[in-house]
Structures are given as C-alpha cells and as structure tokens.
Structure 1
Amino acid sequence: MRLKTKITLGVLFLYAMLLLVSVLGYYYLTNLNAKARIILEDNYETLEYGKNMLMALDALSLDRRSALQRFEQQLKKQEDNVTETGEAAATGHLRTAFEQLKRDTLPPGKTIQSIRQSIYVIMDLNMQAIAGKHEKVKATANKALLYIAIISGVCFLLGFTFVYNFPGYIANPIHELTEGIKGIAEKKYSQRLHFKSGDEFGELATAFNTMAQQLDEYEHSNLARIMFEKQRAEAVISSLRDATIGFDNKHTILFANTPALQLLNMPETELVGRPAQEAAQHNDLLGFLVNRQDNAPLKIVVEGKECFFTKEQVDIHHEQERIGYVIILKNITSFREQDLAKTHFIATVSHELKTPLASSDLSLKLLEDDRTGHLTAEQQELVDSIKQDNQRMIRIVSELLNLSQVESGNIQLQPRPVPPLQVVQYALDTVKQQAAQQQVTIQTDVPEQLPRIQADVEKTAWVLVNLLTNAIRYSPRGSVIMLTVAQQDEHLLSFSVQDRGRGIPPAFREKIFERFYQVPGTHHQKSTGLGLAIAREFIEAQGGVIGLESEEGKGSLFYFRLPVSN
C-alpha cells in the first residue's frame, strides 16, 4: 500500500468516526424533538382547551351568550384533538352536558357541575398522558446519552490512538533518514535504514542502504591509496628545506615541517590542530608570522648564530575557492652574507679608487695651468678628454660609495631647517656648465615666502642635481627645463623638474627607480643607472617621497617632496 493511500485511509477513518457520532446525535435529537412536539400537540393543547372552557363557564353569569360561543369553539377544538384512551367518552359526556346547558333541560347548577366534572376528567387523562410520555422521553434521552457517550468514547480512543501514532508513522522514518544522512555526512558509511513497510519509505530505505553500501565500498577501496598519498605528502613537506607552516581558512594550523618546528622551538603536538592565535600566545615568532603582513627580512638566532629569513605567504585554492594558505620561511643568510661582502668590496674598491682619481684630477688641473707650460692644441684636446673620463670615473665612484652606504643601512643624515632656495641655488651652480654645453635653459619658479624644509642639504642637493642632470642629458638642444618649488600642503614642500624630452613609456615607469635600470633605447654612455635608485633612498630616508609623471613625446616631470620644518 502506498503512503498516499495510507494517509487517505487514515483521514477517511477520522471522518467516518466524526460522521457516525454526528448521525447518531442527529437521530436521537430528532426523535426527542418529535416526541416533545407530540406531547405539545396531543396533550398540552387539550389542557389549554380545558382551561379556556372553565373560564367560559365562569363567565356565564356575566355574558351568557358570549360565554357559550367561546365554550362551543373550545369544545370543537377538543373534539378534534382526542388522543388518549377514555378521552373520547369524556368528551362525549361533555358535549351532552353542554347541549343540556344550552337547552336548560336540567337545573343549571347540576349541568355546570357535570360539565366541570367532564372537563376535569379530560384534563386528568392528558396530565397522566403527559407524565407517562415524559417518562418515555426521559428514558429515550438517557438511552441516547448512553449510546452517544459509548460511541463518542470509542471514537475518542480510536482517534487519540490514531493521532498519537499516525504522525510518528510518518515522522519516525523521516527522523531515521535524517540521522542516517548525518551519519553519511560524517563518513559513517555503516549506517543502514530498516523500514519494513512496502511504501515509499521502504523504497527510500532500500535506495539509502544501497548508497551507503557503495560509499562504504568506495571508502574502503580508496582508503589505502588516500593514506599512502597522505603519508607521501607529509614526507614531501617534511623534506622541504624551507620552514613551512600550513593553515586552513579558519587559521587553524594543519601542518608544520621539521625546519619550522625547529625555528619555533615547539613540538608538533602543541602546534598542529590548534588555532594560530592561541598557539601564537606562547611563541613570539609564530605571532609575528601570523599577525605581520610585510615581507621584510627576519633575523632569527639559530644555534647561537644570526640567520636571516624572508616570509612568503601562498594562498591555496581548490575549484576557484580559497581553502587555506601556507607560510614559507626561506633562509637567505648566505645571500645576505654575500650581499654584505659585495657591499664591503664595492665600498673598499671605491674608496681605494677615489684617492688616485682625485690625484689624477689635480694633476690634470696642473697641466692646464700656464705656469707649468703651454700645451699645444693636440695636447689640450687629450687633456680635456682625459679630464672628462676622469670626472666620469669620479662620479661613478661617488655613486658606488653612496650605494654601499645605502645598502649597509648606514646613511648618515644631518637634517636641519633649510631654505628651499639654498638647495636650488646649489644645484643650479653645479649643473650650470653642463646646461650651457647642451644649450639648455633652466627656468626656475621658486617663491620667496616658502617655508623651510627639514632636510640634509648635501643629500637633498645631490638628488636635485641628479634630476637636473638627467633632464639636461635627455633634453633636445635649445629646449627649456622648468625647475619648480611649491608647497604641496601644510606639511610637504615639492621640488619638480620638467623637461621636454621623449618621455618614458608606461611599461617602464615603475622600474625607473630600480638599481642599474635604464629605459631601453635611451642608454647613455655617462649613465650608470644608479642615480635615481640612490635618490629614492636619500629622499625616503628623510621622510619624503619621490616619483615621476611622463607622457611619451611630451617630456617627463620628476619630483620629490620633503616635510616642512616645524
């Protein structure tokens, strides 16, 4: 039997019980109503007629004619309503006595007494009939109440039993199915449903058990392979030389390889499976890795030796959804040592080269002095060429020294309140000769009422000289370079250099401040590619910013901004 059929039969059963009680109640109520109506029609009306006839007799002395007419009317009604045994004879006696009263064949007193006696007999018969019928109606009502109570009680018990059990018949399989699905979701594939019914629930149980069996078989068939893959993945992670820590989306630590455990100095049992913030409360390094987002090198003391690491965070995605991330600490100690050795080497070589270069520059100046003798035109040309090369070498050595100072982190700054015009004038005096040689005009826009800047004069002037030198170098002959100083806001002062060169393509603008970088197609024999990189370091070390705006074919605008002195 289908579930729909069972529900329909259950509802029909309740409806049938309700209909049975309703029909039984209707039958007995109709029966009682009919008997009450019979009593009213047969007996109560006769009593009413008798009462009216007695009243008419009492009115004979007042209005005989009218009283006789009313008596006649009531008597006819009584004659039409004879229903009880003996009532017909008494009514006949009443008619005879009334006819005698109308004819006055007997003394009035005796006739009236006879009439009253007949009326009393009739009323007594109907009173007795009413009492008897009342007992019958009462018995019938009691019987009806008994039957209705019995049937209602039986229907109530059946209905209560049905209402109590039938919802469970529907809900219990659904509850068992829900629990079974939860078990499957928790990978408890041994879950089975046992419904003995042959309805939809039975079919559902069969389908569920088949699914659970297939999942169980699949789980066991793949369990060995999954465990093997898991162990292999753990072995791969543990064999990584870089410290690696894995997290899920809720920042729970999933794994940590051996190098990571050694750096954190924590056992795996106290780390894996715990929330990162909770574990970080007992480990400063883990707290730093979890809470800090920058990638600055970390200095960690390992076995009494200072080691340097870089932090790299890699998100893990599955089907375009982020499921976790991995933090990797790469040991860059050897690279750091090599970089430091390189910096020291550059500084040493540059320092050693600067002394003979300065000496040779002095010698060239002595050669140009007339007191040491006149030079021929060919000799003067050779001296000028050597002097230019010597100046270029001095500039390169100076840039290398500045670079080594930047890389070592030992930039020596002497910031003080400086008038912007002092920096501008120093830079203009430095590049004046170079601008004249290139036939380039430098125009300035420096208001007199500008506030002082908090800066190192030498380093700031060096940056401005570098920007002007580059502008002169890449500007066409006869062009104009615009040097502008303006107040950016109440806290910053801006220095900008606008040239009319070819401009810088958008693809190369972000790299222009990197070391040794030159825009392709613009290589210059006098450029090392270090000037802008060092300029950025100098400006940022003073709390400022440096940048550029450029458009191909319309030139470039390089600027830097420094804080205003309080």
Structure 2
Amino acid sequence: MRLKTKLSIGIGFLFTAILISGILGIIIIYQMKKDARLILEDNYETLVYSNNMLSLLEQQAWDTNMLRKFEFNLSKQERNITEPGEGAATSAVRNIFEQLKHHPENDSLEALIRQRIYEINTANQQAILHKNQLAEANARRFSNYLMIVFGLLALVAFTLAVNFPSIISEPIQTLSEGIKAIVNKDYTKRIRISQHDEFGDLAKAFNTMAEKLDEYEHSNLAHIKFEKSRIDTIINQMNDGIIGLDENRNLLFLNKVAENLLGIKEVEIRGKYAPDIAISNDLMRSLLQEKGQNRELKIYADQKESYFHLDVLSVTNNEKVIGQVIVLRNITPFHELNEAKTNFIATISHELKTPIASIKMSAQLLMDDRVGNVNSEQEELVKSITDDAERLLKITSELLNMSQVETGHIQLKLEPVLPEIIIDNATSTVSSLAQQKNITIKIDQGTYEQKMLTDPEKTAWVLTNFLTNAVKYSPEDGEVVLTTSMRDNNILFSVEDHGRGIEEKYLSRIFDRYFKVPGTPEKVGTGLGLSISREFIEAQGGHIWVKSRFGEGSTFGFSLPVYQAAV
C-alpha cells in the first residue's frame, strides 16, 4: 500500500469518527428534545388548564368574569386532547359547564364537573409519567449506543496514534542513518524496509546507490592511491620547490625542496592557513605577495646563496579557481654559468685592451713622417689597421661596461655637473667622425645653467653613443640636432637625426642586449651600446627613450634630475 493511501485512510478514519460522533450526538439531542416537547405540549399544558379551571371553581361566585375565564381554559383544553379517555372527560366537563351557566346554585353539578376535571388531570399525569419513563429509556439506549461507538472509535484512533507515526518516523530514521554512513564513506551500509510504499522505493534506490558507490570505490581507490603515490614521488624528486594551496589558501602539500627552503616540515603545517604561517616565516610571506609573482628570489640554501624563479600557477576546474601551485624553479646553475661568462668576458676584454692599444699606437707611428714615408697603398693598410683597432677598443670597452652591468657593480662617481660639460665632451669625441661625412651637429641648449647630479664620464659616454649612432645613420652633408631642455625638474637631452629611421615594431626592443635592427650592416656595432646606455641612465635615477618614424629619422633621448643643493 502506498504511503499516500495510508495517510488518506488514517485521516479519513479520523474524519469519519468525528462525523459519526457528531451525527449520533445530534440525533440523541434531537430525540430528547422531541420527548420533552411532547410532554410539555401534550400533558403539561392540559394540567395548567385543568388547574386553572379548578381554581375558578374554588371561588364559588359565578359571575361573568369567572365564566369567561373558565370558558377560555376549557376551550384550550378541548384543542389539546392527546390521551385516551381525555376526550370523554373533556366533553363531560363541557356539558356540565353549560348546565352550570343556567343553574349556578346547583352544588351537585359543581361536584360533577370537579370530578371530571380530576379525571383529565389523572390521565395527563399518568401520561407524563409514562412518557418520562419512555424518554429515560430512550436516553439510556442512545447513551449506550454512543458509548459503544465512541469506545470503538477511540480504540481504533488509539491504535492509529500509537502505530501510524512509526510508519513514517522509523523509515525516516533508518534512511537518515544510511545517509550518515554514506557521508562517512561507509558504502557497505544497506537499508532494510519491508513497507511496499514510497519509503520502500526510496530504500531500494538508496541500496542501489550504495552498491554503485561501493563498486566505484573499490574499482578506483587502489588506482587513485597508486597514482597519488607516484605523483608524490615525482614531486619530491624534483629540484624545484613546489607548494600546493587550496581555494581557501590552506596548505595541501610541500615537496622536500620546499621543506628545506622554508625550514618547515610538511606534517607540521599541512591543512593550516598559509597567511598564518607567513606571520613567522619570511620566505612564505614573500611567496604569498601578489606583486611577487614571476620574479627572481635569492635564498640561502644548501650552505650557499641560491637563486630561484617564482611562478604562481592557478588550478582551475570548470573556469573556477580551486587552488594554487607555487613553484620555485632553481636557476642557480644558470646564474653560476652567467657569472662565469661575465667574468670571462671582463677578463678577456681587459687583457685585450693593452695589445689593441699598442696596435693602434703602432699604426699611428707608421703614419708619422718622422718614422718614414709610406706609399698610398701602405697608407690605406695603416688606415684600415687603425679603424679596426678603434673598433676593437670600442667593443672591449662596451664588454667591460656590460660586465659591470651584469654583475651589478656599476661604479658611479656622482657630482654636480653643467650640461655644457657633457655636451662638449661628447661632441668633441664625435667631431672627427662627423667631419668625415660632412655632417653638422647643431646644438640647441635651453637648460639655463642648471646643474645635474650625475657621473659625467658615463653620461658623456651615453650621449657620445647617441651622437655616434646619429652620425652613422645620417646621410652625408646632413644635420644632427642635439637639444637640451627643462621639464618637471629634469634636464632632457635628445639627439635627432634624419636617417633611415626605425620601424615601429622594433622600437620596444631597441634597448635590449645584443639586439640589432634587421637590415643594419654587421660592422656597425655589437648591439650592446644602447643596452648599456639604459643601465647607466637608470642607475642614476633617470629615464631613457626613443622616437622614430621609418624613412624620416630617429630621436634618442634621456633625462636626469636637476641637482638640488642642500640648504
């Protein structure tokens, strides 16, 4: 039987019981009311009329008022004849009363009429007694019926009250226990409900679900454990530090490298809130900083300074972030190789400067008439040797500067300097190269004798590099404009040429190391000059830039802060 049918039967029975009790009560009340009404209407009123007539007879004065009252009560009685013998007695009263109206002095008639009235009273009194006994019998009978029906209904209702709640509560409690077992991953739990209703169907569905879960658990658990163990082994064998966080930034795992770097064991912090750990751990605090992503960290590990690159990877599922993986990639070997390369370049560059300078000096002596005359072919050879020696000196100088930049050992000798000093130094260096191509260097100075705090040698080197490039890329008989100006407490230097210019797609890389604009002659340079220039200017708190339109020329510039004398 379905649960809905059971509920309908239970509620229907209660409704029927209430309805039957109500109907029986109404019937009993109605019957008792009817019996009382019959006694009142049929007999009690007759007694009233008879007693009124007897009272009038006691007055012994048959006047008109008394006759009228007697006539009134007698007429009422004549219309209320209900009992056997009452009609004959009432007719006799009428006959005698008619005689008394003509012979009021006849006492025998008065006695006869009184006797007949007593007969009427006696008949009604006996009828009242009989009807009262009948009403009592009916009341007892209906009371017994009502008690029997009420007892049966109460017994059935009590049975429903005791048993019906368990029909619903016990299956619900059983199902609740089964659900708790599933939550605790006890997939062997089964529900036994013998009811053939919705609860029975629900129990069958629950058991089917538990069987499927149990089957899935046993079929995949071993495989999942094996894969997890393999992944843990791989992660722990990596040379990179790996830290796993969930979506609430609670720590999930650390590999051995991360434990060594943080100085904390995984078992001590697993499941804890990472920012809480960062309070007492500087490295964890640095790793959790949002601005610290994708940057390089120097960490003391394995009894030496090591270098790590920080990567923070978001783990997503259906476009929802469910965690993060922090990866510290060990780049110490690359730093060591880069440092060895830098030291090698610096050593070689330094060692090459002396023989190159000697070659340049020897070439200059060969061109001196005091040593001897050379023919035109020899003069070309000597000139070629001089140019190559000059180029080698420039390359070695750039390499030495680059080694300073890479090692972070840029040595600045800052002092207040007028822009004119930088300009004179740079233009004098480039003047001979400009004269060879008949290029005019126009100076537009507007700094108003303001000084700047700078390293004059390195700043002049940067300006010389700009002017040299401008002269090289300018056509013969052209013009290069060197401009200085003031802007926001900064002195700006810009060098403008009217050469071939630079395509816009290459402008963002123009200050990168070893970058050369495609199409540039190979002999022009090493690709380090502009990169070194940026390092020198930014080390002094300045800014460097480039503007260019392909086919029209380029403008290179930099700015340095104005010197503020202490008050």
* Cα distance in 1 between the residues matched to 2:510 and 2:90: 140
SS at match of 2:352: helix
Contact 2:482 2:493 in 1 (8 A): no
SS at match of 1:27: helix
Contact 2:444 2:481 in 1 (8 A): no
Gaps of 5+ in 2: none
Contact 2:443 2:482 in 1 (8 A): yes
Contact 1:315 1:325 in 2 (8 A): yes
Contact 1:300 1:309 in 2 (8 A): no
* Cα distance in 2 between the residues matched to 1:418 and 1:78: 149
Counterpart among 254, 257, 263 of residue 255 in structure 2: 257
Superposed displacement of residue 200, structure 1: 3.6
Which letter does structure 2 place at the counterpart of 1:409?
G
SS at match of 1:297: strand
Which letter does structure 1 place at the counterpart of 2:344?
F
- Residue 19 of structure 1 corresponds to 19
- Residue 213 of structure 2 corresponds to 215
Superposed displacement of residue 377, structure 1: 6.3
Contact 2:360 2:385 in 1 (8 A): no
Contact 1:486 1:495 in 2 (8 A): no
Superposed displacement of residue 194, structure 1: 0.9
* Cα distance in 2 between the residues matched to 1:467 and 1:264: 48
SS at match of 2:524: coil
The superposition leaves residues 427-451 of structure 1 with CA deviations (integer Å, 9 ceiling, x where unpaired) of: 6666566567667777788765798
* Cα distance in 1 between the residues matched to 2:154 and 2:503: 96
**In the superposition, relative to structure 1, how do residues 452 and 152 fare at CA in structure 2: closer, same or farther (>3 Å)?**
farther
Alignment of 1:496-535 (within 5 A): 501-506=500-505, 508-522=506-520, 524-535=522-533
Superposed displacement of residue 504, structure 1: 3.1
Which letter does structure 1 place at the counterpart of 2:338?
D
* Cα distance in 1 between the residues matched to 2:53 and 2:250: 109
- Residue 28 of structure 2 corresponds to 28
Superposed displacement of residue 192, structure 1: 0.9
**In the superposition, relative to structure 1, how do residues 363 and 172 fare at CA in structure 2: closer, same or farther (>3 Å)?**
farther
Alignment of 1:153-168 (within 5 A): 155=153, 158-159=156-157, 162=160, 166=164, 168=166
- Residue 95 of structure 1 corresponds to 94
Contact 1:471 1:481 in 2 (8 A): no
Superposed displacement of residue 6, structure 1: 2.9
* Cα distance in 2 between the residues matched to 1:445 and 1:513: 25
Superposed displacement of residue 272, structure 1: 4.3
**In the superposition, relative to structure 1, how do residues 295 and 88 fare at CA in structure 2: closer, same or farther (>3 Å)?**
same
- Residue 391 of structure 2 corresponds to 392
The superposition leaves residues 9-29 of structure 1 with CA deviations (integer Å, 9 ceiling, x where unpaired) of: 333333322332232233233
The superposition leaves residues 328-361 of structure 1 with CA deviations (integer Å, 9 ceiling, x where unpaired) of: 4343333322222222222222233334545555
SS at match of 1:196: coil
- Residue 5 of structure 1 corresponds to 5
Contact 2:46 2:121 in 1 (8 A): yes
Contact 2:293 2:310 in 1 (8 A): no
* Cα distance in 1 between the residues matched to 2:221 and 2:197: 36
SS at match of 2:295: coil
* Cα distance in 2 between the residues matched to 1:112 and 1:460: 163
- Residue 304 of structure 2 corresponds to 305
* Cα distance in 1 between the residues matched to 2:416 and 2:50: 137
* Cα distance in 2 between the residues matched to 1:482 and 1:147: 127
The superposition leaves residues 268-303 of structure 1 with CA deviations (integer Å, 9 ceiling, x where unpaired) of: 53244544445555654444444553521323142x
* Cα distance in 1 between the residues matched to 2:468 and 2:559: 19
Superposed displacement of residue 481, structure 1: 6.1
Alignment of 1:36-435 (within 5 A): 36-39=36-39, 41-42=41-42, 64=64, 72=71, 75-84=74-83, 88=87, 91-92=90-91, 94-96=93-95, 98-100=97-99, 103-107=101-105, 155=153, 158-159=156-157, 162=160, 166=164, 168-170=166-168, 172-280=170-278, 283-291=281-289, 292-302=292-302, 304-317=303-316, 322-358=321-357, 385-415=384-414
Contact 2:311 2:327 in 1 (8 A): yes
Contact 2:246 2:252 in 1 (8 A): yes
* Cα distance in 1 between the residues matched to 2:105 and 2:459: 161
Superposed displacement of residue 523, structure 1: 5.2
**In the superposition, relative to structure 1, how do residues 431 and 133 fare at CA in structure 2: closer, same or farther (>3 Å)?**
farther
**In the superposition, relative to structure 1, how do residues 86 and 495 fare at CA in structure 2: closer, same or farther (>3 Å)?**
farther
Contact 1:90 1:118 in 2 (8 A): yes
Which letter does structure 2 place at the counterpart of 1:235?
T
**In the superposition, relative to structure 1, how do residues 257 and 72 fare at CA in structure 2: closer, same or farther (>3 Å)?**
same
**In the superposition, relative to structure 1, how do residues 70 and 422 fare at CA in structure 2: closer, same or farther (>3 Å)?**
farther
Which letter does structure 2 place at the counterpart of 1:237?
I
**In the superposition, relative to structure 1, how do residues 233 and 437 fare at CA in structure 2: closer, same or farther (>3 Å)?**
same
* Cα distance in 1 between the residues matched to 2:357 and 2:219: 82
**In the superposition, relative to structure 1, how do residues 116 and 257 fare at CA in structure 2: closer, same or farther (>3 Å)?**
same
How many matched pairs? Answer: 560
The superposition leaves residues 71-93 of structure 1 with CA deviations (integer Å, 9 ceiling, x where unpaired) of: 65664343222335675466445
* Cα distance in 2 between the residues matched to 1:112 and 1:551: 156
* Cα distance in 2 between the residues matched to 1:549 and 1:54: 144
Farther off after superposition, 12-21 or 179-188: 179-188
* Cα distance in 2 between the residues matched to 1:483 and 1:111: 165
* Cα distance in 2 between the residues matched to 1:492 and 1:143: 121
Which letter does structure 2 place at the counterpart of 1:350?
S
The superposition leaves residues 483-508 of structure 1 with CA deviations (integer Å, 9 ceiling, x where unpaired) of: 57563xx67776666666443343x4
Which letter does structure 2 place at the counterpart of 1:536?
R
The superposition leaves residues 104-149 of structure 1 with CA deviations (integer Å, 9 ceiling, x where unpaired) of: 4214999999989988997898789779867876886687677667
Contact 1:539 1:560 in 2 (8 A): yes
* Cα distance in 2 between the residues matched to 1:98 and 1:80: 17
* Cα distance in 2 between the residues matched to 1:173 and 1:452: 93
SS at match of 2:397: helix
Which letter does structure 1 place at the counterpart of 2:528?
L
Contact 1:442 1:483 in 2 (8 A): no
Which letter does structure 1 place at the counterpart of 2:203?
A
**In the superposition, relative to structure 1, how do residues 130 and 378 fare at CA in structure 2: closer, same or farther (>3 Å)?**
farther
* Cα distance in 2 between the residues matched to 1:325 and 1:496: 47
**In the superposition, relative to structure 1, how do residues 122 and 430 fare at CA in structure 2: closer, same or farther (>3 Å)?**
farther
TM-score (norm 1): 0.76
Farther off after superposition, 318-327 or 389-398: 318-327
Contact 1:440 1:481 in 2 (8 A): no
* Cα distance in 2 between the residues matched to 1:369 and 1:334: 52
